[in-house]
């Protein structure tokens, strides 16, 4: 079992130590990142790997990736999960944690279910991201939640043209544009005013951020569409962020293309709760007064 922990959180440190102890008691080996092991009190039998090692190698031979932390830590775990194909099980120790399957109080249950292999695996769409400048590819990346094109200078807007499937949709000034998956619809795209999309729906989202235009509404396209954002030549340039973790500078005139990837992120699920229930719980939505459909 491969563990990733936000060791800056005391609760995460204690939780990681409890999970490791539970796994070892049941004869299941554990592996952690060497950088995190320095902040944890672990038995000598726990393997360590360097953070800088290739993700596939770090997780090689592991059945599951267990991630303890908030949304940022879960997205870090997704990098290992996507590269290796190993399912990721998230334990939320942050605020929302839409990718997480369990909360801190569920640690004993998590260990029991992992030991019994009592979990299901679902696949989440990711996107491939390509940046071109003067026709040349200058950067490649991917995202589970979103690829966002953002302005580099606070005092100036970013002038862009949004495109879907090779055809222009609109030109506008803005703070940025979010290209998101259904998984990312409850993250940055949601904060920018985009719709919530159920994970089972295969689609891509294009959501302008603070756009100065009559038509700059969120768009939902087919999963096979290719979204593009062209940074106009007269703009100073921008910045590309993928999942808020990986970044690249965008020179004036750069073109960012986002398309569905063939490589998903696999999530381990312990519960059969509907996404509707998850949405209500995570956002603490008011549902008092609901009486349900008549039987």
What is the C-alpha to C-alpha distance for residues 126 and 59, in angstroms, rounded to an integer?
A: 20
Residue position matching structure tokens 């593009």: 228
Which listed residue (71, 141, 175, 243) is catalytic?
A: 71
State the maximum Cα–Cα separation within the chain, in Å, rounded to a whole number: 62
Tell me whether residue 105 is one of the annotated catalytic residues.
Answer: no
Return phi, psi of residue 264, to 5°: -90, 175
Q: Is 280 exposed, middle or buried (0-12, 13-18, 19+ CB in 10 A)?
A: middle
Angle between helices 10-25 and 107-115 (to 10 degrees): 30
Look at residue 129 and give its three-state secondary structure.
Answer: strand
φ and ψ of 263, to 5 deg: -110, 115
What are the φ and ψ backbone dihedral angles of 80, each rounded to 5 degrees?
-70, -40
How many other C-beta atoms can be found within 10 angstroms of the C-beta atom of residue 188? Answer: 22
How many angstroms separate the CA atoms of 241 and 248, rounded?
Answer: 7
CA distance 181 to 202: 8
Contact by Cβ (8 Å): 20, 47: no
Other CB atoms within a 10 A radius of the CB of residue 171 amount to 13
Provide the 3-class DSSP secondary structure of residue 83.
helix
Q: 23, 15, 133, 145: which is closest to 74 by C-alpha? A: 145
Task: Rounding to the nearest 10 degrees, give the CA dihedral for residues 169, 170, 175, 178.
Answer: -10
CA distance linking residue 103 with residue 101, whole number of Å: 7
Residues carrying an active site annotation: 71
């Amino acid at each position: 079992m491969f563990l990733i922990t936000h060791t800056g959180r005391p609760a995460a440190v204690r939780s990681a130590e409890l999970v490791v102890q539970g796994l070892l008691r049941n004869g299941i080996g554990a592996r952690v990142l060497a950088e995190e092991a320095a902040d944890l009190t672990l038995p000598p039998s726990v393997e360590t790997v360097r953070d800088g090692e290739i993700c596939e190698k770090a997780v090689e031979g592991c059945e599951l990736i267990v991630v303890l932390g908030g949304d940022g830590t879960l997205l870090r775990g997704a990098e290992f999960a996507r590269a290796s194909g190993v399912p990721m099980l998230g334990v939320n120790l942050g605020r929302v944690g839409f990718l997480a399957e369990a909360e801190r109080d569920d640690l004993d249950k998590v260990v029991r279910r992992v030991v019994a292999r009592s979990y299901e695996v679902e696949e989440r769409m990711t996107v491939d991201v390509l940046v071109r400048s003067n026709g040349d590819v200058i950067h490649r990346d991917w995202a589970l939640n979103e690829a966002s094109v953002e302005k580099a200078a606070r005092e100036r807007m970013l002038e862009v043209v949004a495109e879907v499937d090779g055809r222009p949709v609109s030109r506008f000034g803005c703070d940025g544009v979010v290209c998101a998956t259904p998984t990312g619809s409850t993250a940055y795209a949601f904060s920018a005013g985009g719709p919530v999309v159920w994970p089972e729906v295969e689609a891509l989202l294009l959501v302008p951020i603070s756009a100065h235009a009559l038509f700059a509404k969120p768009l939902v396209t087919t999963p096979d569409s290719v979204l593009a954002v062209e940074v106009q030549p007269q703009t100073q340039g921008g910045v590309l962020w993928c999942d808020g973790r990986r970044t690249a500078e965008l020179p004036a005139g750069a073109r960012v293309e986002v398309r569905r990837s063939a490589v998903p992120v696999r999530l381990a699920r312990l519960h059969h709760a509907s996404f509707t229930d998850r949405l209500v719980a995570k956002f603490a939505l008011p549902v008092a007064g609901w009486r349900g459909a008549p039987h």
